[in-house]
Amino acid sequence: MSRLGLEIYAKWRTGWVYGTRSIGWLPLLSLLVSVIGALWLAVLPLDGQYRYTYVSENALLPGQAHTHFRESEWNHVRAYKQEIQAIVNSEAGGHINEQERISHVRGYLADIGLKTSLHEWSVDHFSESYNGTNVYGVMHAPRGDNAEAMVLVAPWINQDGEHNVGGISVLIALARYLKRWSVWSKNIVFVIPSDSGFALRSWVTAYHTSLALTAGAIEGAIVLDYPEASSEHFDFMEVFYEGLNGQLPNLDLINTAVIAASTENLATVIQGVTEDDESFVKKYMPESLKEFFGNQQMDVLNRYANRLKIMLSGMTRQLTTGISNSPGSEAFSGWRIDAITLRARGTTGPFDITTFGRMAESTLRSINNLLEHFHQSFFFYLLLSPTKFVSIGTYLPGAVLVCASFPLTAIYLYATKPNRSTSLVKSFFIIIAVFGACTTIGGVLTVVPTSAVGPVLTSLFVISACLPILSVVAPSPPPHPASAPAEPNVTLAISLLLHGLVTTALATINFSLAMVLGLLTVAFNFIRPGSAHTKSNLLILIITCPWTWLVAVGAVLHTSPFDILQMLLWSLRGNQVWTWQVLFGLWLPQWVLAVIVSRSSTPAPAQSTVGYFRKQ
């Protein structure tokens, strides 16, 4: 052999050795990037990692206009409040029915001079139905062209199932008060839906499709929630901003409400927590450690812990909005409408109910200044406090790192498969069949009667519980020859690659859902075929099973997993929430494929092939 040939062979051989060694480190690298991705969230609330909020749209001029909804309007608010409370009591006592109640409320808006209308809504599924009637009125802007509108909402029943007496009385009093002003260039729509969930969502959908009385394109919406009917004072204001399927309002809208509150010295909170509250760190840390850190460092740790709690609570709300209790602002998601919910908290504070009305007035005045739709500020962010946030460029790498662990494992599995010449057709067929079957089951469950959903879900639960057990009890099939058309390593590699790609794409739309899904399924990276991995596979299949987490969440919420699945179904029917499709179209089929791979035997290697980098 010539010298040149020997040099080429030596370089090829060296590259093969280093290549196989590098491939062997991929499982560890996969674990490492997933851990770093999870820890990334803990870094975001640290000082220096977040940014302070600011108003990007100069035309908003938040807090600049003087608000006039003050003590002179208190008597009107109080009068409406007494009448609304009387209607609530009469309806509860059976003295009036729903239609009479609606007639009374519509009369209040009509007496002010608004054009009023009713919207009858229903969300039906065979014999089950959620229905009601919404009342709304339109105030046409004296200086506008009827092309744009703002919406002020006060649900009859709020997110906690309580009568929103204070919120409705403030809305009607505001309608009477704002009607007298000639500064408006946008129409104002006043809506009193029967609840803050399906009712408001149905009204928003009908507004853009079938309602006869409309007022133009909606630029922004504010939902008022003042649940304490017996109190005319409150302590602070809470802002809800999460939308459906991970959507968020433009950050400028939240900033406008926060600045408006600051002009009144009104404290604003999100997720019910402030930075200065006593955190779990300060509450449970031993006194010896507190003395070691000192007061100054303890204050820093306390604020960090609260920012972390606010961020994680926001992610949880983003994940569950539209499924559990609805504050109302999420109903405008999907229609390019920015909306927030303002809620009065406490009963003994120095702020009277007209202060709450001024928050709505000031925010509406700012929206009225807009010359075009909200677009300057962020639409993707995580709030750490009313004045601190992290943008998508800062938090997205956490989810990307977790999702990157799946293709890294896929590369390792494919590169170390025993038979390089294996056909991919059968692996693709298995994956398509599993995904198709699970997606079909999920789709069928959305259209069958509820009475049929229970038995099907019970069967799925039982089958899913038996599959991991069978992987231990039943003997593994004998290794198939290398000439077999498919290998479990290839099937798992392709499925993990698809899982990582889809979850990464999901992270750009719904970060919270993608992050949680990635963390709950990251153990799929360690599934391996063959009887030698039976026990580890069983543990992985249990902790990655979607039903396991449904049971766990049900235990925390003191409800059954079947009730949670029913909530997912109704959120899909009434609010178009995608979580059901993600469960049956991504998580469940990936888990079923993991079960199939764990039950497969490792193929016997061919004589001429031991690894991907071996010469054929």
pLDDT of residue 216: 94
Concatenate the DSSP letters of all residues of 300-318 into one string: HHHHHHHHHHHHHHHHHHH
Residue 604 belongs to a domain: no
pLDDT of residue 124: 94
Phi, psi of 187 (to 5 degrees): -65, 155
* pLDDT of residue 501 exceeding 50: yes
Quote helix, strand, coil % in the chain, to nearest 5.
Answer: 55, 15, 30
Q: Could you read off the pLDDT of 125-141 as tens digits, one per residue?
A: 988 999 999 999 999 99
Strands 388-391 and 381-385: antiparallel
102 domain-assigned: yes
On whether both 159 and 218 belong to a single domain, the answer is yes
What is the chain's mean pLDDT, rounded? 89
What is the per-residue pLDDT for 158?
95
Q: Domain for residue 607, yes or no?
A: no
Among residues 321, 352, 386, the one where a domain terminates is: 386
Q: In whole angstroms, what is the distance from residue 195 CA to residue 574 CA?
A: 13
Claim to verify: residue 344 and residue 490 sit in the same structural domain = no
User: For residues 518 and 212, what is the distance between their CA atoms, to the nearest angstrom?
Assistant: 45
Q: What percent of the chain has pLDDT over 90?
A: 70
pLDDT of amino acid 614: 40
Segment 535-559 shows an average pLDDT of 91
**Rounded-to-integer distance, Cα 338 and Cα 374, Å:** 8
pLDDT in tens, 460-469: 777 776 766 6
pTM over 0.85: yes
Q: Return the pLDDT at 425.
A: 85
pLDDT digits over 158-207, tens only? Answer: 999 999 999 999 999 999 999 999 899 999 999 999 999 999 999 999 99
Q: Is 577 exposed, middle or buried (0-12, 13-18, 19+ CB in 10 A)?
A: buried
Please check whether residues 459 and 429 belong to one and the same domain.
yes
Residues 334, 358, single domain; the answer is yes
Average pLDDT over residues 252-278: 94
**Residue 284, by phi and psi: left (phi above 0), alpha (psi -120 to 50) or beta?**
alpha
Q: Are 310 and 331 in contact (CB under 8 A)?
A: no
pLDDT at 529: 86
pLDDT at site 13: 46
Within 8 A by CB and 6+ apart from 98, the residues are: 91, 132, 133
Instruction: Return the exposure string of 281-304: e unless at least 16 CB atoms fall within 10 Å of the residue's CB, then b.
Output: bbeebeeeeeeeeeeeebeebbbb
Strands 128-139 and 187-192, bridge-based pairing: antiparallel
At residue 286 the predicted structure's pLDDT band, cuts being 50, 70 and 90, is confident
Q: Which of 353, 386, 419 is the last residue of a domain?
A: 386
* Residues 448 and 424 placed together within one structural domain of the fold: yes
Q: CB 615: neighbour CB atoms within 10 A?
A: 8
The answer to whether the Cα torsion of 314, 320, 325, 328 is positive or negative is positive
Please list, in sequence order, all residues whose beta carbon lies within 8 angstroms of the beta carbon of residue 353, skipping any fewer than 6 positions away.
74, 77, 81, 166, 169, 170, 226, 232, 233, 234, 344
Residue 332 and residue 183 in one domain: yes
337 Rama sector, left if φ>0, alpha if ψ -120 to 50, beta otherwise: beta
Q: Contact, 349 vs 52, CB < 8 A?
A: no
- Based on the domain organization, do 481 and 537 belong to the same domain? yes
Q: Per residue in 357-373, pLDDT tens?
A: 999 999 999 999 999 99
What CATH number corresponds to the domain at position 355? 3.40.630.10
Residues 471 and 538 sit within 8 Å (Cβ to Cβ): yes
Judge whether 616 lies within some domain: no
Domain assignment of residue 456, yes or no: yes
Cβ atoms of 377 and 58 closer than 8 Å: no
Domain span at 373 = 58-386
pLDDT average, residue stretch 281-288: 83
- CA–CA dist 35, 41 (Å, integer): 11
> Over the stretch 577-601, which tens digit does the pLDDT of each residue have?
999 999 999 999 999 999 999 877 6
Both 73 and 124 in a single domain?
yes
The single residue listed with the structure tokens 């092939």 is 609
Q: Look-up: residue for tokens 């035997």?
A: 601
**Mutual angle of helices 392-415 and 488-507, in 10-degree steps:** 170
Note whether 118 and 262 are same-domain residues: yes
Among 42-46, 264-268, 427-431, 458-462, whose mean pLDDT is lowest? Answer: 458-462
Instruction: State both tokens at 217.
Output: 């394109």
Domain membership flag for residue 128: yes
The domain tally of the chain equals 2
Residues 361 and 428 in one domain: no
66 and 215 housed in the same domain:
yes
The answer as to whether 130 is a domain residue is: yes
Q: So what's the pLDDT on residue 458?
A: 77
Inside any domain, residue 578: yes
- 347 plus 426 within the same structural domain: no
Q: Report the distance separating Cα 15 and Cα 474, nearest Å.
A: 42
Domain termination site, one of 386, 405, 430: 386
